[in-house]
Amino acid sequence: MSAISFSQQVDRNFEKAAVLTQHDPAMLGLIKNCNSVYHFTFPVRRSNGSIEMLHAWRAEHSHHKLPTKGGIRYSLDVNEDEVVALAALMTYKCAVVDVPFGGAKGGIKIDAKAYSRDALERITRRYTFELYKKGFIGPGIDVPAPDFGTGPREMAWIADTYQSLAPEKLEALGCVTGKPIAQGGIRGRKEATGRGVMFATRELCNQPEEMRRVGLSVGLAGKRVVVQGLGNVGYHAALFLAQEGATIVGITEFNGAIEKQDGIDVEALVAYRKTSPNQASHGFPGSTSLPSREAGLEIECDILVPAALENQITDENAPRIRAKIVVEGANGPITATASESLEKRGIMVVPDHYANAGGVVVSYFEWLKNLSHVRMGRLEKRAEEKAYRRLLGAIEQKTGSSFSDQEVRAATQGADEEDLVNSGLEETMVTALHRLLEIRNRHPGIDLRTAAYIDAIDKIALCYEDLGIFP
């Protein structure tokens, strides 16, 4: 475990980049420090009639853009330092991928598995009420999203509670993202973080100079990948990487790890886990069970994707990491000093506040959908199809050839909501990576994490300068 706290690690990475910028120290302090933290307690009645006092937090790190944005996690590990650190990472993440939000984060110190559905609903609705009472939630104020221990169900409860508290707000559904489709959610949001990890990894692997740096061939096809975590992010990252031609050679979870060098069928593994004792991966046909979940991180591979929780790669196990590239699917999975030691060994680290930004990118699209009250693709899909059909008709007329009905359908299909969401996500992740590579190349000797912090600092500073706060 790292000797310094999570928020201190984030600040250390910030300061490492800040010295490479030309901004006033007061400006840098304004960007780094957390704007506000709300810590509160509230009671919940358990099924046995007892009363339990719960601790909860919401941190708004930066108000340089509003609303602030960040997930809500339910975990016994939730504490103020963690919430502040994650809120800061959200600020920098939004800046790197050009999403117009400030960073925020929230959490309740509970083990969600220990509560009934009814109890979780009461807890979630009470948490929402407390945020509303103090002005910590609203489509133009602070917009939560799912995180560890929460999902679309909890987001639907939050949206419903907010709507009942603010019935006059036409845009009320925009108070939270990651909702079910029927409750104002957007197609592609569930898969977004994992898909974003894939886009980031694929684009990096398509850069000849970057692959030369780490001694790999160009392209994602054939790359051996290990994924830590088989939750929403890890599952979708593994699935999409495999679809792009990568070979998933290892999966590590909280209850163990497996290795299979000829490739793990991710969907088959998930199906197997549903029937195995304790939902464990051990015993999956053709795989080798490893002695511990930590051992899964040390499998020899080309790409390692830690997609679970923070502080998974530390000074203790960093020397045993045998990947060429580490793509941070989780927030803060590598401690600050461990990340530096990996880079010194020639292992490229793709930082969390870029690599796992897919969720907030598509949350932004959902927020826009809620404000506009129009499903993406609804206005243009049929018009696109008719335009494509006219084009094919003109080609047939000019050439004298004809297209089959199947060819016409394939060539003229207009983009629906999920197509547009995935296109926007891909554009965002690809564009951001090339900007980070350009920044890194302008500062010889720095890594991608430092480049991402420089990018975020410069963009946030520009916002404050435009406001006239610093002449």
Q: Which CATH number characterizes residue 435's domain?
A: 3.40.50.720
Same structural domain, 52 and 100: yes
d(CA 355, CA 49): 45
d(CA 302, CA 370): 40
Same structural domain, 145 and 107: yes
* Of 32, 69, 93, 105, catalytic: 105
Domain boundary among 183, 216, 240: 183
Residue 13 within a domain: no
pLDDT on residue 467: 75
DSSP 3-state assignment of 13?
A: helix
Residue 422 within a domain: yes
Same structural domain, 164 and 195: no
CATH number, domain containing residue 157? 3.40.50.10860
pLDDT on residue 470: 65
Name the amino acid, one letter, at 337.
Answer: T
Domain boundary among 183, 215, 244: 183
**Catalytic residue status for 105:** yes
| Cα within 13 Å of Cα(7), Cβ side | 16
Residue 391 within a domain: no
In eight-state DSSP terms, residue 140 is T
Which range of residues forms the domain containing residue 62? 34-183
Same structural domain, 178 and 194: no
Which pair of structure tokens corresponds to residue 418? 């999920």
pLDDT on residue 255: 79
Residue 459 within a domain: no
Backbone φ and ψ for 144, nearest 5 degrees, come out as -70, 175
- Name residues of the chain where pLDDT drops below 50: 1-2
Same structural domain, 308 and 287: yes
pLDDT on residue 1: 44
pLDDT on residue 2: 47
Same structural domain, 107 and 232: no
CB 107 within 8 A of CB 72: yes
Please state the domain count of the chain: 2
What is the value of pTM for the model shown? Answer: 0.93
C-alpha distance from residue 366 to each of 199, 355, 417 (Å): 20, 20, 11
Same structural domain, 325 and 420: yes
pLDDT on residue 291: 83
pLDDT on residue 232: 92
Residue 456 within a domain: no
Closest Cα partner for 360 from 147, 156, 139, 136?
Answer: 147
CB 41 within 8 A of CB 55: yes
d(CA 370, CA 224): 40
Same structural domain, 123 and 144: yes
Same structural domain, 356 and 436: yes
Residue 466 within a domain: no
CB 59 within 8 A of CB 87: yes
Same structural domain, 219 and 335: yes
Which pair of structure tokens corresponds to residue 208? 């000849």
pLDDT on residue 471: 57
Residue matched to tokens 């991608």: 448
Same structural domain, 176 and 223: no
Q: What angle do CA 209, 210, 215 make, to 5 degrees?
A: 95
Domain boundary among 127, 156, 183: 183
pLDDT on residue 278: 73
Name the amino acid, one letter, at 30.
Answer: L
Residue 312 within a domain: yes
Which pair of structure tokens corresponds to residue 463? 């916002």
Residue 259 within a domain: yes
For the residues of 339-389, what is the DSSP string, one character each? HHHHHHTT-EEE-HHHHTTHHHHHHHHHHHHHHHT--TTTTTHHHHHHHHH
Same structural domain, 174 and 210: no
